[in-house]
């Protein structure tokens, strides 16, 4: 396997492409806004003018875009991935998307002799840059084995969770956990500040105990200095939580903490925080009249 077609060059996608190139893969890319690809093109990525073109002569086609509607439009229809990829091609969606959509894509892909995988990631912008993403994969064992060198170029913890849709279910479970952790850390920090404590001193003190977490290490420092640059957009986290709530409804399980997190982040989005990183949740607690 040598050539990878890549669609989606956002915060995550750009770093993932760089790590694929470091591992020796040739990358040809397409994104709706060519300007986003300028740095990568200068580094050796080949630009394609269409979805059809990015699929040509590709051993694998990877997508990581914004919303399930974006995924659906890329895979289905004239000139799109399922029609344009050659038989035997790996088609890997790494967007956090709908498990039911992943199942639909897999069924249609198999009918066209393609090798489908849903493989959403977690680890944020830091994990994408460092090649240490966790990758949760749904799909067949053969496709997973064939795709493993690609995943190893981009991630560190790589697990096949089951058949089509299982990767998406795994990622939504991850987002459910994150939602609670984000609320807990934001509440901790707001309480610390109101109590007159030094927040970074407290963070350093508790990091080795039961409160220690990736969020405490990577996002709480950003909360403290009010750095809300997006490693992961609030608007995309809201999309993920909505997908998780929809899946929970289908699975007949109530998730009250997730419902609360979705409500709080929705308030922030309504007040123009949607383009900020998820750490901006602290703004709700520090200014509850936002």
| Residues belonging to the active site | 171
Cα 254 from Cα 280, distance rounded (Å): 26
CA count, 13 A, side-chain hemisphere, 227: 8
CA 264 to chain centre: 21
CB atoms inside a 10 Å sphere around CB 177: 13
User: In this structure, are residues 195 and 161 in contact, taking their beta carbons and an 8 Å threshold?
Assistant: no
CA-nearest of 155, 157, 117 to 137 is 117
User: In this structure, are residues 187 and 283 in contact, taking their beta carbons and an 8 Å threshold?
Assistant: no
- The sign one gets for the Cα dihedral 222, 97, 268, 246 is negative
CA 77 to chain centre: 24
Cα 170 from Cα 173, distance rounded (Å): 5
DSSP string over 62-86: EE--S-HHHHHHHHSSTTSHHHHSP
Q: DSSP code of 56?
A: T
Helices and strands in the chain: count of H runs, count of E runs: 15, 9
Sort strands 133-139 and 155-162 into parallel, antiparallel or unpaired. Answer: parallel
């Amino acid at each position: 396997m040598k050539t990878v077609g890549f669609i989606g060059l956002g915060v995550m996608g750009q770093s993932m492409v760089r790590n694929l190139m470091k591992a020796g893969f040739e990358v040809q890319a397409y994104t709706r806004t060519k300007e986003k690809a300028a740095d990568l093109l200068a580094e050796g990525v080949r630009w394609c003018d269409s979805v059809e073109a990015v699929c040509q002569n590709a051993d694998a086609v990877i997508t990581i875009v914004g919303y399930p509607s974006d995924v659906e439009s890329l895979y289905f229809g004239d000139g799109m991935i399922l029609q344009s990829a050659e038989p035997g091609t790996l088609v890997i969606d790494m967007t956090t998307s709908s498990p039911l959509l992943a199942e639909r894509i897999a069924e249609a892909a198999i009918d066209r002799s393609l090798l489908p995988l849903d493989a959403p990631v977690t680890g944020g912008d830091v994990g994408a840059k460092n090649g240490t993403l966790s990758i949760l994969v749904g799909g067949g064992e053969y496709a997973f084995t064939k795709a493993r060198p690609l995943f190893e170029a981009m991630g560190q913890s790589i697990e096949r969770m089951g058949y089509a849709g299982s990767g998406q279910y795994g990622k939504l479970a991850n987002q459910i956990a994150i939602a609670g952790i984000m609320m807990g850390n934001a509440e901790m920090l707001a309480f610390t500040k109101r109590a007159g404590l030094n927040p970074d001193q407290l963070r350093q003190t508790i990091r080795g105990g039961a409160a220690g977490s990736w969020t405490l290490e990577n996002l709480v420092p950003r909360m403290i200095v009010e750095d809300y640059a997006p490693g992961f957009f609030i608007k995309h986290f809201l999309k993920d939580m909505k997908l998780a709530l929809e899946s929970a409804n289908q699975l007949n399980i109530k998730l009250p903490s997730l419902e609360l997190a979705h409500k709080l982040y929705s308030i922030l989005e309504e007040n123009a925080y949607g383009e900020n990183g998820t750490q901006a949740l602290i703004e709700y607690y520090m200014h509850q009249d936002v």
